[in-house]
Amino acid sequence: MAEPTAPSPTPPSSRFTYRHLTQLSKSSVDCPLRVVAHVDLDAFYAQCEMKRLGVPREEPLAVQQWANLIAVNYPAREKGVTRHITAVEAKKLCPEIRLVHVAVWTPGSTEWRYNDSSLPSMSLSKSSLDPYRAESKKILTVFRSTCPDAILEKAGIDENFLDLSKPIYEQLVAENEELREQIVGGKGSELLPLPGKRRLDWYGSHLVATEGEDAETGVEEVEEVLDWDDVVLAIGAGMVKRLRDAVWEELGYTCSGGIASNKMLAKLGSAFKKPSQQSVVRARAVQPFLNRHKYTKIRNLGGKLGTQIVDHVGSQLLPDLLPLTLPDLTSFLPDDTATWVYNTIRGHDRTPVTPRTATKSMLSAKSFRPPSLPSTPQHAFQWLHVFIADIWARIEDEEAFTQVVRRPRVMTLAFLGRGAQRSRQMPIVGGEGRDALRRTAETLLRAVLEEGGGRMGLWPCMRMTLDVSGFEDRETGSGNIGDFFTRKAASLPPPPLLPASTSASASILPTPSSSEEVETDLHPSKRQRITSPPAADSSTPVIPPSTSTSPSPAQPAPPQSPLTNSNPSTTTPPPSLLLCNLCNLPIPPHELPEHQDWHVAKDLEKAWWEEERRQTPQPAQPGQAAAGKKGKKKVAGGREKREKGQTVLRF
DNA sequence: ACCGGAGAT
DNA sequence: GGATCTCCGGT
Ligand SMILES: Nc1ccn([C@H]2C[C@H](O)[C@@H](COP(=O)(O)OP(=O)(O)OP(=O)(O)O)O2)c(=O)n1
């Protein structure tokens, strides 16, 4: 529809129009100049652990969960270590490898912990991915502050999409007078002038080969600028470079990026060259790029749907799919799905980058392996309580980090027994505190157990999953100091109470005595910055900044807050403290300026999370549905319909 | 609204 | 394989 169909009879004309520029400024998915980026952290969990433990970059490391690996860093991959192999096999392949087990929760515990001494037992603990979620949030924060005008969407714990159209438009117009002149008053259908002769800076990006080139000429390729589509991609490449550098500078993580005209291509692009690199897919490189992929590598084609297509076509190669006409595809796929496939393999994808950085649901789950399978309600309830502790901690942590209060309205419990699965869902009632969650969860578990699993029975238990969703924003008393204080007081150790200061700056606070320990300078956290930027082929071993290794409560709070560190160590109290008039916390005088700067930054961040909320409609109020009592039956091998459960992809 | 399932990281 | 998440279809 909005394809740049205009022919270019006259050399001085671009293929694009002023209308396209306007679309660009609005991040329209129909804009042919649209620029989307996908940024994916390299071996994310492994990088998190390397940072936490201060492991040098070049040392092989993998993250394990029970006996299996869930993340492998690049040095280890060179030795043949991959995800999906066991820790034992990894040791054989790479004896020097450092294996780090994920943190775990234990029944009765208040928080997750890393077991430095021994490996956690799968039957006695449940893994926690919270440390990675926390780092993931920090990355989002860096993205936001680096590229405030981009649309940001969290696509996974270690990957994000950005629609850079708007900020690119701004920069494009600012740097190109020829576009600025007629931009107002000019007819939208009028073709743009071609960009002046220039040499594009691709900021070290790999340029995916176009037809004719047999290999990526890589970082140094120089090429004539043909039109504005390349210009905007180059600007996008610069932004992604800045994003990646910022993540490295501020957090010590390397990541890879893809820059293209839509999400699908951006995602393929980010995976093109992996450790710490970025790739650009120009328009004329799209089909050549796609053609060298198996279409089963494209998102949504990796599962049943992809397999079904392979069965009909007899090939996984994308070029073998191109000859199929839309009717051909429709002959064995639902119309919408056929259309989606037809467009996707040609590089067309108008999926919007949806502004969302918070998850819609939180779930806590645990699988059990023989021989230790829970076989009594007591065991089930025990793990249920661990799930509640986990989820509640995450809700509170998120609140502390974003300064936005969100509470789930719906809870779902899934129980997998011997071939029989049951799930029950109901509104969370009785308040929104931890107890409400616990009682709701217990009700659900009782309901599931009472219903039972039919002939097969639910016992022994193979897996339990607790899910909360339908998050709703609570009033935060935007900018209200009282509310802020209230929230902090609820999640932090009780601060020395004093009436809120009304003075413009701060009031004097007597130094607390022995009981309320105050640590002054436990945070030498002066940004000891790293020199060399992330580079895939950099042989320079650089050790990222080490950070806090403490569990849950370590996340937020001002850097100097004496209440931040839950570890009560013996520190000499300063002569006096000032009471911050923003949060009422006692702050050493010399740290007050920095402390209040922290407030400014935190408020900015809060504004972002709140603004995002406004852009997403709140779900409707849940009706007081019943806790479910009616039972269905089989779920296991239910093959009632051929090709059932086929998801229709809409275009 | 509730439940089951696909697909992805 | 385990732990998460998101989105969709049928009822
Ligand atoms: N089946 C999977 C796939 C991934 N992950 C987690 C661990 C990874 O660290 C993180 C990101 O997944 P990626 O597929 O992006 O893989 P990596 O980040 O580990 O490596 P790469 O550098 O190839 O992206 O998600 C997981 O738990 N289970």
Residue-wise pLDDT tens digits, A197-212: 899 999 999 999 998 7
Q: Which of A41, A130, A132 to mutate to test the pocket of ligand 1 (most atoms within 8 A of CB)?
A: A41
Q: Confirm whether A38 is domain-assigned.
A: no
With a cut of 90, say whether residue A528 has pLDDT above it. Answer: no
Q: With bands split at pLDDT 50, 70 and 90, how would you rate the model's confidence at A519?
A: very low
Tell how far the Cα of A44 is from the centroid of ligand 1, in angstroms.
6
Pair (A152, A163) in one structural domain: yes
Query: Which one has a higher pLDDT value, A597 or A153?
Result: A153
Residue A644, C-beta contacts closer than 8 angstroms, at least 6 positions apart = none
Dihedral Cα A639, A641, A643, A645, nearest 10 deg: -80
Nucleotide nearest to A623 (CA to C1'): B1
Find and give the residue nearest to B9, measured CA to C1': A156
Neighbours of A324 (CB within 10 A): 19
Range(s) of the domain holding residue A55: 44-133
Pair (A144, A254) in one structural domain: yes
User: Phi and psi (nearest 5°) for A359?
Assistant: -75, 155
Q: Which of A81, A105, A133 is the last residue of a domain?
A: A133
Write down the mean pLDDT value for chain A.
Answer: 78
Q: Which of A48, A49, A52, A70 to mutate to test the pocket of ligand 1 (most atoms within 8 A of CB)?
A: A70
In this structure, the protein residues whose CB atom falls closer than 7 angstroms to any atom of nucleic acid strand B are: A 40, 156-159, 267, 298-306, 410, 412, 414, 421-427, 619-623, 625-626, 628, 632, 635, 638, 644-647
Q: With bands split at pLDDT 50, 70 and 90, how would you rate the model's confidence at A188?
A: confident
Q: Confirm whether A579 is domain-assigned.
A: yes
Reference A168, options A273, A24, A310; nearest CA is A24
pLDDT tens profile A453-469? 777 788 999 999 999 99
Q: Confirm whether A581 is domain-assigned.
A: yes
Q: Within 13 Å and on the Cβ side, how many CA atoms surround A303? A: 8
Share of chain A above pLDDT 90, in %: 63
Neighbours of A497 (CB within 10 A): 8
Q: Check residue A319 and report its DSSP letter.
A: G
Q: With bands split at pLDDT 50, 70 and 90, how would you rate the model's confidence at A6?
A: low
pLDDT score at A319: 96
- Torsion sign over Cα A108, A109, A110, A111: negative
pLDDT score at A455: 77
Pair (A248, A235) in one structural domain: yes
Tell how far the Cα of A365 is from the centroid of ligand 1, in angstroms.
19
Q: Confirm whether A567 is domain-assigned.
A: no
Reference A261, options A350, A167, A169; nearest CA is A350
pLDDT tens profile A366-420? 999 999 999 999 999 999 999 999 999 999 999 999 999 999 999 999 999 988 9
CA distances from A501 to A367, A505, A513 (A): 51, 8, 21
* CA gap A233, A43 in Å, rounded: 26
Distance between the alpha carbon (CA) of A447 and the C1' atom of C11, Å: 21
Pair (A371, A477) in one structural domain: yes
Pair (A527, A382) in one structural domain: yes
The first and second tokens of residue A345, run together, are 């393999």
Neighbours of A581 (CB within 10 A): 18
Q: Confirm whether A335 is domain-assigned.
A: no
* CA gap A175, A231 in Å, rounded: 11
Please count the structural domains in chain A.
3
Lowest mean pLDDT among A11-15, A86-90, A408-412, A615-619: A615-619
The residue-averaged pLDDT of A562-569 equals 27
The predicted complex's ipTM stands at 0.97
pLDDT score at A594: 56
Pair (A145, A117) in one structural domain: no
Atom index in ligand 1 nearest the CA of residue A274 equals: 22
* CA gap A573, A562 in Å, rounded: 10
Pair (A374, A249) in one structural domain: no
Beta strands in A294-397 (DSSP E): 361-367
Pair (A238, A123) in one structural domain: no
